[in-house]
Amino acid sequence: MSVDADDPIVRKVYEIYGQVVETRKPVRNPDEMVRILRDEYRLIVDKRLVSLVLAAFMAGRPVLFEGPPGTGKTEIGEAILTLWAGKTAFVLPCSENYDEYRVIGDFHPLMAMKYGFNEESYIPRPLLAAIILDAGVLVDEIRRSSEEFQNMLLDIIDKRRIIVPELRKVFRARGPGFQVIFTSNPEDIGQGELSDAFLRRVVRIRFDYPPPEREAEIVRIRLDSRAKLPDELLRSMIAVVNELRKRASYKPGPADTVTWARVAARLAELRGSDTVDVRDVIEAATVTLYKRVEEEEVVDEVLREVFGV
């Protein structure tokens, strides 16, 4: 049996999640989306990527963002889903013991004892909430979940419905807002491979470290500082992180470059200066780029090569 709007679970979802899901006008135009991502979310995303995601959604396919850490997969995915649906997206951070009870729903043990296993004692979770509210879902770090969990998700996405056998109910997607983006980092060793069955059903978009000009743009839009960061200094910082991506085992992503620049800018402010200088940058590097004791040396080496100090 399919459910309607006055179903007790639907009402419960609106009660619980209605407060955290903000509504806005859905965006379906790539140019407009690129602009809003930049102006409202301070995310630099190119039109090609946005167009590919929108095309996948229109073709009824979930999307997989695959690439190294700190390249914006999670934030960009969440923002695009939110704009597409016109509702705040749900984020499911995966781990091995993630299962359907945590994402679809389960019974409150005490309530179930009192009222039985029915709507009264059922607690809807984010995936069920998303399908009912017609919102998007970001499934973060999908490789950390079990294959069984992945298959369950794909089945729901394909059929756009969730069956809760205990309640003898089927919840169907109510509009086009319910879309899914997965993120994954293929270089993260110790994480599972994605099955062929999984890859067959998703549209895979590769994320990479951005070219230097784009990374500079990302740092600028995220800097948030009164102290000015001279262009040349920023170019050198980006040269450093690119070199570390080749030579170090901890590879700094744009997220690390942003943190580095922000700390350097704060140091300048604390000095009472309105301009970041090379000392601030080096000082900030020792707390933002030194990630492992055994790699401090390679960081120093690259800093010396680039800044000559």
Ligand X SMILES: Nc1ncnc2c1ncn2[C@@H]1O[C@H](COP(=O)(O)OP(=O)(O)O)[C@@H](O)[C@H]1O
> Exactly one of 79, 258, 265, 284 binds ligand X (CB under 6 A); which one?
258
Closest CB to ligand X: residue number: 72
CA 20 to chain centre: 18
Query: Where does this chain touch Mg ion (CB under 5 A) — which range of 74-82, 147-155, 156-164, 242-250?
Result: 74-82
Does 94 bind ligand X (CB under 6 A)? Our answer is no
Residue (133 or 265) nearer to ligand X, CB: 265
Binding mask 200-219 for ligand X (x = CB under 6 A): ------------------x-
Burial profile 130-147: b = 16 or more Cβ within 10 angstroms, e = fewer: bbbbbbbbbbbbbbbbee
Does 43 bind ligand X (CB under 6 A)? Our answer is yes
Q: Which residues inside 5-34 make contact with ligand X, applying CB under 6 A?
A: none
Degrees to nearest 5, angle at CA 306 with 304 and 309: 35
Residue (27 or 205) nearer to ligand X, CB: 205
Q: Which does 43 bind (CB under 5 to 8 A by kind): ligand X, Mg ion, none?
A: ligand X
Round to whole Å and give the CA distance between 182 and 73: 9
Binding mask 243-262 for Mg ion (x = CB under 5 A): --------------------
Q: Which does 222 bind (CB under 5 to 8 A by kind): ligand X, Mg ion, none?
A: ligand X
Find the length of the chain.
309
Q: Is the CB of residue 39 less than 8 Å from the CB of residue 83?
A: no
Round to whole Å and give the CA distance between 76 and 80: 6
Q: Which does 238 bind (CB under 5 to 8 A by kind): Mg ion, ligand X, none?
A: none
Degrees to nearest 5, angle at CA 191 with 63 and 195: 50
**Sign of the four-CA dihedral 153, 159, 160, 163:** negative
- Binding residues for ligand X, rule: CB under 6 A, are 43-45, 69-75, 183, 218, 222, 254-255, 258
